[in-house]
Structure 1
Amino acid sequence: MYPIIQFALLPLLFTSAQSTPTPRSLPAKVHARTSSPGHGTLTTTTNGSIIHAVINNPPINLWDYKLAADVSSFVDTLATNVNTTTNPKVVIFSSANPDFFIAHYEIHALDASSPVLPPGNGTLIGEQLLRTRTNLATLPVIFIAEINGRTSGAGNEFAVQCDIRYAGPATSVSHLEVGFGLPPGAGGIQFLVKLIGRARALEYILSGRAVDAVTAAAIGWVNKAFGSAEELTQETDALAERIAAFPEQGLAAIKARVNVQKPSDTDLQGDNDLFTQLASTKVTQEAASLFLKVSENESAGTFELNLPKDLTEIVPPGS
């Protein structure tokens, strides 16, 4: 959904947890575990053929220029390593922030009156987002989203394009684009319809309502919900270990054939084109400015913590 237009208008969008993150507890492995600083807002940890990538972009894990560039760079590295001995079988994405998985897109990238500072222009962020979308779907790597916190808009579009989603008790998934007079533009519509069906996708995208972990699992938005952050981590790790135990060629072949059911490139491009067309309208620009005001410039305050409950506050009068 993140338009590729010069003056900055890209993907948006966004969405309780414990006071401190739960430490990961990986099962014992014969492989040596190595750590690296990752890609700025991502810290990566390798354990055999599994990579764990932790998102940490304070204060609310915005999908901004930094995170978009880091995720794109990381996934591009995986694409470069395809068919080499260094390519992982499984990648787990999780968050270091107990309140947010990925909040939403950086709204300054949408608001022409208050654009993001260079190099975070809309064109570049859009290219990064769409390239990441393509790589998540097509690479012979199994991507697991370990969600425990709010995620909406661009954040949810990233999550639904991972191959598997496990959710913890603090999970809240949603789409906020409707508040800006926009449709999701980076795959959110097409992937969500595939997951939960036409009627439910319409219900949640049109209303901008949040869905908790248990409900999300019941309708297919996520694979499974867990009652604690600790159980979420343990079960995600166990699933990754199980998948990684099987031959790489089989994993790649299965993903490729399941991808026959993924949304078409034509439909995905159509969503992005419509988002781009509407993003510069008066309604969207006014809504973006209102959002930045009531969210206190996207801080970790009451508005962001309550999203999408208070989404109607950003709707311009008469729209």
Structure 2
Amino acid sequence: MTSLEKHLDERDLARSLRADVRDGLTATPKRLPPKWFYDARGSRLFEDITRLPEYYPTRTERAILASSAAEIARLTDAKTLVELGSGSSEKTRLLLDAMLRQGTLGSFVPLDVSESALREAVDALGVAYPGLAITGVVGDMTRHLRQLPDGDNRVVAFLGGTIGNLVPSERAAFLGDLRSALHPGEWLLLGADLVKDPGTLVPAYDDAAGVTAEFNKNVLRVINRELRADFDPSAFEHVAVWDPEREWIEMRLRSGRDQVVHVKDLDLDVAFAEGEEMRTEISAKFRRAGLTAELAASGFALRHWWSDPQDWFGLALAQAETIPRVRP
């Protein structure tokens, strides 16, 4: 049995895009949120990125899940699996299979901002798992966690290292909102990319074939199409930089010349100087101790940790603790 709940529609997305682009292009320095990479073309490009030899996170996390899924199912006895930013839910099938073998799982709730991608995933999973109740939720994980269907003993999976796309204040807000949406004893399964040699990190975001460069520039094409802008993607260069102090990768677009971009739907002219860089994504990398502290500050206790032999990627299983009441 499959169904779809919608908390976002095209008008919501259009308003959000307009606000993000106006705020980002008038900021100093300029920035754009990475969520706007992912139209149909951007999603295909990201799938291509995950298969590149330089891009280790997807295959490393998948290997960890393959070896730990049965243990996760046994530890949690999950009745409901929730996945945030589900996309195609490919890796999640490892968890679904293990939890169904455990004999406790009754429902799966994938959440994604893309209705078309979510509908496709829900339909495919409905065929693959005919006995499972599947409820797709069209929503934004930063706004609609409270709208997740309530359940008994839920496990929320947030995989792929996507937590690293949030700056520390955003991570704290997200984890706090998620904790508030869960009952004490429910679970968070969090995939986190770990700090490592920049010689391994940087090529993962600046591959030799140039696929990541095309993915990065796709945000300009989205703005051109949706807001009638006149960005020339060829006038921007893809840049990936490791920030050792913040311990994150920054993806940027560097203007190759002095230029002015007009965004017609915002009635906005944006000047770029030659060499000026605009940030399009951060990808924070974590250390186990730091991530444990961030989880604890939001009301989650780390119960189990899995990693690969090279310690490149971590999978954290954390449990929602009872939130103490604050006296007025």
Both structures adopt the same fold (TM-score exceeding 0.5): no
Larger Rg: 2
Q: Which has the higher contact order (CA 8 A, sep 6+)?
A: 1
Q: Whose strand fraction is larger, Structure 1's or Structure 2's?
A: 2
Q: TM-score, normalised by structure 2?
A: 0.23
